[in-house]
């Protein structure tokens, strides 16, 4: 590992530290240089902005912080800032002031506004620090331009408008990124990047792409393709569910096309992604608009947790490296497409904040912008092989506590290259696709659900790898070396009394301490806490709530149960055979079964299209049956056969609902006579009614459409309106993906021994999934006697 504590590492790449570079220096203590000044900040609720505010309030006692904050939901900008000041790092400041409100009123000015909708700015501004921006590597192209180019331009224009009113021109400090250098190689100087890109034209075209892609998403061919995919997944749930999913897919397609457009446009012009591309064009806009004022551009590399302040390891949220580090610790990152000798240029957040405030205390010559790289690769390089070694060493000593599958084995990275990693990933994706195709044809069962869960874990892992390897592949193989002469020179001009609190020399720490003792513990601590909470809570269900009697308005709660596959292990074909075969002789039984087997393939096709069509076709076979005789047969002969197949778990839950004062409802597509043995368990039974002629014989038709899919949801809404039912407090239990619409109607849906599509939907919606045993002691082929 290379740890350089002197002036320079790999001097051949970088300038001579003895060269007397031109540029502003610090002439005094920062607290004095910035006293009685108003520093306006954007992005104060973000990672760097939050610590920058803390630093101003903590170590610059005579400086006022003005913050541009937008409302969010019902929270006003002032309320959002007060919430920010309640965070841990501001605790001592709040205690000294007496309250967050008092601290805000004494030291801060809140400017309601947003980017790019920047309001009129105060005339008292001395310094404007723009650290807001879209930090995602792959936002839609129009979003990236709106935030990083238009937002920056509007902010500067409003700043200049305020300056014109007050005749006081602020120093503009722009927080960019070192990776605006794009796909260049070698030493990157602290200067404006040379390129011929017209940021006005690129912005205009980038913003115009949304309307173009939206129009493309609405063409007949595109909508047909999206609808067919949605129908494959949701046809049984109903037309409205399919339509909603089609529209969801259309919107997702629009966003994905805009993301792809941004990535490809950036790479076609020499940048890694749309983030660095629009940040580079934002820099060009800054230099152009700020041609006659003092401008400084701070370019941090990969910003991670703090080295020292507010405390070692301070970080807000997950940044660039955290998802990869955590995935490695969980054994889910088998390889990484990095060049082992490429530098991973990490810089602690407090170094970026300290450097920014030091830059604020300078005053560049108008029209000659100053650039500063805040990076570690120049004098304290850390390559990917060394980074991997530190992370592996940390997790070897401090593994994540194992869950159901035990402690994960840490992968051994061999750095085979991007091409090998891509082959591995592509092969795994193809294998997963084949396994999914097999699963779709598997019957509903516990093993099928177990296999689906395993495939889902694999899919999440593959999606994670595809996303992050795609995003970080360029960075992991970069050969950039950021010269930081200006930054080092500025650091050396710090007053000796400021060095402890405002240091930003990235050669001052060693990577073993930073990665293994500061950074990794800080990012894994919240994950370990959440894992401990989950273990303590166990598998407590979220929608399968405990029921108790005596709660207010219990009569406004309903508990709705499906029948087949939920509270009973049976289906409409079995039930028909139970009713039909006992009255037939041996030859007639064989003929009946043969006819059923012949019709079965067409019935299954009908069910895959629309369960209502299947039920209508099945119930045609009841034509000619005496309805009264069928009811009597069910009461005297089939009742025990039916009740034996009712799940004891379902009966227990039904009794709990009744004891709690809830109305219990059975809603099923089964014909009503077959529900008669279950009537004592329910207050309301909704079933299919067989139509009869004047002699009481079944015609083979129904009195109305069978209640399936979305029609059950409509029935529930109507029933709730008639009986003053609170659906938000009510319960529903079902087993099939076709039940998704009406499960979504209530506040407490439960998936019971579900098919794979419903199991997955329940997981996404955080519904409880339970396994109710419904096995009978009597084999299915034994007929009632």
pLDDT (mean) for 258-273 = 94
pLDDT bin (cut points 50, 70, 90) of residue 404 is: low
CB atoms within 10 A of CB 214: 14
Rounded percentage of the chain residues whose pLDDT exceeds 70: 93
- Residues 682 and 733 sit within 8 Å (Cβ to Cβ): no
Per DSSP, what are the bridge partners of residue 38? 64
145-154, 408-417, 739-748: least confident range: 408-417
Longest Cα separation, the chain: 111
pLDDT tens, position by position, 548-564? 887 888 889 999 999 98
Q: Which of 162, 180, 74, 176 is nearest to 122 (CA)?
A: 162
pLDDT band at residue 785 using 50, 70 and 90 as cut-offs:
low
Residue with more model confidence, 503 or 477:
503
Is the pLDDT reported for residue 2 higher than 50? no
Task: State both tokens at 584.
Answer: 């037939």
**What's 72's DSSP letter?**
B
Q: Where are the beta strands (DSSP E) in 255-409?
A: 295-300, 302-304, 346-348, 370-374
DSSP label at residue 146: I
Round to whole Å and give the CA distance between 56 and 49.
11
pLDDT > 80? residue 530: yes
Which is it for the CA torsion 356, 361, 367, 372, positive or negative? negative
H-helix or E-strand spanning residue 590: helix 586-609
More confident residue, 539 or 505: 505
How far apart, in Å, do the first and last CA atoms of the chain sit?
A: 82
CB 43 within 8 A of CB 113: no
Task: Kindly report, residue by residue over 442-500, the tens digit of the pLDDT.
Answer: 888 888 889 998 999 888 888 888 887 777 777 887 888 899 999 999 999 999 999 99
Stretch 113-125: mean pLDDT, rounded? 93
173 neighbors 359 (Cβ within 8 angstroms): yes
Q: For residue 62, is the peptide bond before it cis, meaning its omega torsion is within 30 degrees of 0?
A: no
Q: How much of the chain is helix, strand and coil, in % rounded to 5?
A: 50, 10, 35
Q: What is the mean pLDDT of residues 74-96?
A: 96
Q: What DSSP character marks residue 400?
A: P
> Residue 550 has what pLDDT?
76
Work out the pLDDT band at 20, boundaries 50, 70, 90: very low
Dist CA 84 CA 44 (whole Å): 9
Phi/psi for 118 (5° steps) reads -80, 125
269 and 277 in contact (C-beta within 8 Å)? yes
Q: Measured between alpha carbons, how far is 432 from 438 in angstroms, rounded to an integer? A: 10
List residues bridging with 192 in a β-sheet: none
| Band (15; pLDDT cuts 50, 70, 90) | very low
- E-assigned strand segments in 162-252: 171-175, 186-188
The pLDDT of residue 444 is 80
12: confidence class by pLDDT, cuts 50, 70, 90: very low
Rg over alpha carbons for the chain, rounded to the nearest Å, is: 34
pLDDT at residue 281, as a whole number: 97
Confidence of residue 10 (pLDDT cuts 50, 70, 90): very low
- CA 621 to the chain's CA centroid: 50
d(CA 107, CA 96): 12
Q: Which residue is listed with tokens 């194992």?
A: 402
Q: How far apart are CA 416 and CA 437, in angstroms?
A: 31
3-6: long-range pairs with CB below 8 Å, 24+: 3/380, 3/510, 3/511, 4/379, 4/380, 4/381, 4/507, 5/507, 5/508, 6/379, 6/507
Q: With helix as H, strand as E and coil as C, how does 471-529 read?
A: HHHHHHCCCEEECCHHHHHHHHCCCHHHHHHHCCCCCCCCHHHHHHHHHHHHHHHHHHH
Residue 125 CB burial class (10 angstroms; 0-12, 13-18, ≥19): buried
In whole angstroms, what is the distance from residue 149 CA to residue 133 CA?
9
Across 378-390, average pLDDT? 94
Beta-sheet strands, E only, within 229-326: 295-300, 302-304
- Please tell me the distance from the alpha carbon of residue 217 to that of residue 247, in angstroms, as a whole number: 10
- Is pLDDT of 1 > 50? no
Asked, as a colleague might, if the bond just before 57 is cis with ω within 30 of 0, I would say no
At residue 536 the predicted structure's pLDDT band, cuts being 50, 70 and 90, is confident
The pTM is what?
Answer: 0.82
C-alpha separations of 724 from 50, 57, 547, 554, 718 in Å = 49, 55, 21, 12, 10
Task: Please give the average per-residue pLDDT across 71-83, as a whole number.
Answer: 95
pLDDT at residue 18, as a whole number: 43
- In whole angstroms, what is the distance from residue 211 CA to residue 391 CA? 45
DSSP-H helix ranges across 697-755: 710-723, 740-743
Nearest to 235 by CA among 710, 746, 756, 754: 710
Name the percent of the chain lying above pLDDT 90: 61
Nearest C-alpha neighbor of 136 from the set 472, 363, 458, 402: 472
Strands 370-374 and 295-300: parallel
Question: What would the pLDDT profile of 356-367 be if each residue is shown by its tens digit?
Answer: 999 999 999 999
**Does the structure show a pLDDT above 90 at 503?**
yes
Q: What is the pLDDT of residue 740?
A: 92
pLDDT at 202 over 90: yes
Between CA 278 and CA 269 the distance in angstroms is 11
What does the pLDDT read at residue 429? 87
The pLDDT score that the predictor gives to residue 437 is 87
pLDDT surpassing 60 at residue 76: yes
Q: How confident is the model at residue 377 (pLDDT cuts 50, 70, 90)?
A: very high
pLDDT number for residue 68: 96
Spatial CA neighbour of 276 closest among 130, 465, 471, 470: 471
**Bridge partners of 343?**
383
Joined tokens for residue 275 = 């983030």
Q: Angle 169-175-177 (CA atoms, 0-180°, nearest 5)?
A: 145
pLDDT (0 to 100) of residue 276: 94
- Within a 10 A sphere around the Cβ of 298, how many other Cβ atoms? 26
Produce one character per residue of 12-31: b if its CB has 16 or more CB atoms within 10 Å, e if not: eebbeeeeeeebbebeebbb
Query: How confident is the prediction for the chain on average, in pLDDT?
Result: 88
Q: Which has the minimum average pLDDT: 585-594, 725-734, 764-773? A: 585-594
pLDDT digits (tens, 9 = 90+) for 94-117: 999 999 999 999 999 999 999 999
Using CA atoms, how far apart are residues 32 and 498, in angstroms rounded to an integer? 11
CB 644 within 8 A of CB 778: yes
Among 308-312, 339-343, 718-722, the range scoring the smallest mean pLDDT is: 339-343
What are the helix (H) ranges across 398-445?
Answer: 418-440
d(CA 681, CA 658): 9
DSSP string, 566-587: TTBS--HHHHHHHHHGGGS-HH
Instruction: Find the length of the chain.
Output: 785
Is residue 16 predicted with pLDDT exceeding 70?
Answer: no
Instruction: Determine the average pLDDT of the residues in 272-280.
Output: 94
1/382 Cα distance (integer angstroms): 7
Lookup result for tokens 């807000």: 316
Reply yes or no on whether the pLDDT at 425 is more than 50.
Answer: yes
The residues, ordered by sequence, that sit 6+ positions from 265 with a Cβ below 8 Å of its Cβ are 141, 202, 206, 274, 277
Q: What's the rounded mean pLDDT across residues 196-217?
A: 96
d(CA 624, CA 693): 9
Backbone phi, then psi, for 564, in 5-degree steps? -60, 125
Q: CA-to-CA distance for 241 and 737, rounded, in angstroms?
A: 11
Contact (CB, 8 A) for 287 and 200:
no
């Amino acid at each position: 590992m290379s740890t350089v504590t002197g002036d320079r590492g790999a001097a051949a790449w970088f300038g001579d530290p003895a060269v007397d570079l031109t540029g502003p220096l610090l002439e005094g203590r920062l607290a004095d240089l910035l006293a009685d000044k108003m520093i306006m900040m954007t992005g104060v609720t973000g990672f760097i902005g939050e610590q920058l505010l803390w630093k101003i309030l903590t170590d610059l006692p005579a400086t006022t912080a003005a913050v541009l904050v937008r409302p969010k939901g019902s929270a006003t900008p002032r309320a959002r800032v007060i919430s920010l000041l309640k965070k841990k790092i501001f605790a001592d400041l709040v205690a000294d002031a007496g309250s967050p409100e008092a601290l805000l009123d004494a030291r801060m000015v809140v400017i309601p506004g947003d980017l790019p909708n920047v309001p009129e700015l105060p005339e008292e501004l001395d310094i404007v620090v723009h650290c807001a921006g879209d930090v995602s590597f792959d936002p839609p192209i129009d979003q990236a331009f709106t935030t990083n180019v238009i937002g920056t331009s509007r902010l500067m224009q409003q700043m200049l408008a305020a300056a014109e009113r007050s005749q006081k021109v602020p120093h503009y400090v722009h927080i960019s990124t070192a990776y605006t250098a794009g796909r260049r190689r070698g030493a990157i100087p602290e200067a404006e990047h040379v390129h011929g890109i017209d940021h006005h034209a690129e912005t205009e075209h980038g913003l115009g792409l949304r309307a173009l892609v939206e129009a493309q998403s609405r063409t007949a061919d595109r909508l047909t393709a999206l609808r067919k995919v949605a129908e494959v997944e949701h046809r049984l749930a109903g037309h409205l569910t399919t339509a909603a999913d089609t529209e969801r897919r259309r919107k997702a397609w629009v966003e994905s096309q805009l993301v792809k457009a941004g990535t490809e446009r950036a790479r076609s012009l020499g940048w890694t992604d749309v983030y660095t591309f629009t940040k580079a064009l934002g820099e060009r806009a800054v230099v152009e608009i700020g041609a006659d004022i003092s401008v400084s551009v701070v370019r941090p590399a990969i910003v991670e947790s703090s080295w020292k302040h507010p405390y070692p390891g301070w970080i807000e949220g997950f940044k660039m490296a955290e998802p990869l580090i955590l995935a490695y610790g969980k054994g889910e990152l088998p390889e990484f497409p990095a060049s082992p000798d490429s530098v991973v240029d990490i810089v602690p957040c407090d170094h970026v904040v300290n450097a920014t405030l030091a830059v604020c205390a300078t005053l560049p010559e108008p029209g000659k912008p100053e650039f500063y790289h805040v990076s570690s690769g120049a004098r304290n390089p850390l390559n990917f092989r060394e980074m991997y070694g530190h992370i592996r060493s940390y997790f070897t000593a401090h593994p994540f506590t194992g869950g159901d599958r035990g402690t994960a084995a840490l992968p051994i990275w061999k750095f085979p290259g991007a091409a090998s990693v891509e082959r591995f990933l592509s092969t795994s994706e193809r294998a997963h696709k084949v396994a999914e195709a097999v699963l779709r044809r598997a019957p509903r069962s516990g093993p099928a659900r177990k296999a689906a869960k395993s495939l889902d874990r694999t899919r999440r892992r593959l999606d994670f790898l595809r996303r992050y390897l795609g995003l970080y592949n360029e960075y992991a193989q970069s050969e950039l070396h950021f010269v930081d002469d200006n930054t080092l020179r500025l650091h050396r001009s710090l007053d000796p009394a400021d060095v402890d609190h405002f240091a930003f020399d990235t050669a001052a720490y060693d990577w073993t301490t930073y990665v293994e003792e500061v950074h990794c513990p800080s990012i894994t601590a919240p994950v370990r806490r959440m894992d401990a909470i989950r273990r303590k809570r166990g598998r407590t269900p979220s929608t399968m709530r405990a029921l108790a009697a005596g709660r207010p308005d219990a009569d406004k709660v309903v508990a709705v149960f499906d029948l087949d596959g939920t509270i009973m292990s049976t289906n409409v074909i079995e039930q028909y055979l139970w009713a039909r075969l006992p009255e037939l002789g041996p030859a007639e039984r064989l003929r009946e079964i043969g006819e059923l087997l012949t019709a079965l393939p067409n019935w299954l096709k009908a069910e895959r299209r629309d369960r209502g069509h299947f039920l209508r076709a099945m119930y045609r076979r009841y034509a000619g049956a005496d309805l009264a005789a069928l009811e009597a047969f069910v009461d005297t002969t089939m009742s025990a056969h039916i009740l034996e197949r009712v799940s004891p778990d379902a009966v227990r839950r039904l009794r709990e609902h009744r004891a709690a004062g809830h109305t219990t409802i059975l809603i099923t597509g089964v014909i009503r006579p077959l529900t008669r043995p279950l009537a004592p368990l329910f207050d309301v039974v909704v079933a299919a009614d067989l139509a009869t002629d004047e002699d009481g014989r079944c015609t083979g038709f129904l009195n109305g459409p069978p209640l399936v899919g979305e029609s059950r949801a409509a029935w529930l809404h109507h029933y709730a309106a008639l009986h003053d039912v609170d659906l938000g407090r009510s319960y529903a239990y079902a087993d099939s993906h076709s039940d998704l619409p009406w499960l979504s109607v209530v506040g407490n849906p439960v998936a019971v021994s579900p098919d794979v599509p419903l199991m997955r939907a329940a997981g996404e919606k955080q519904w409880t999934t339970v396994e109710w045993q419904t096995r009978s002691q009597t084999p299915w082929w034994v007929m009632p006697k």
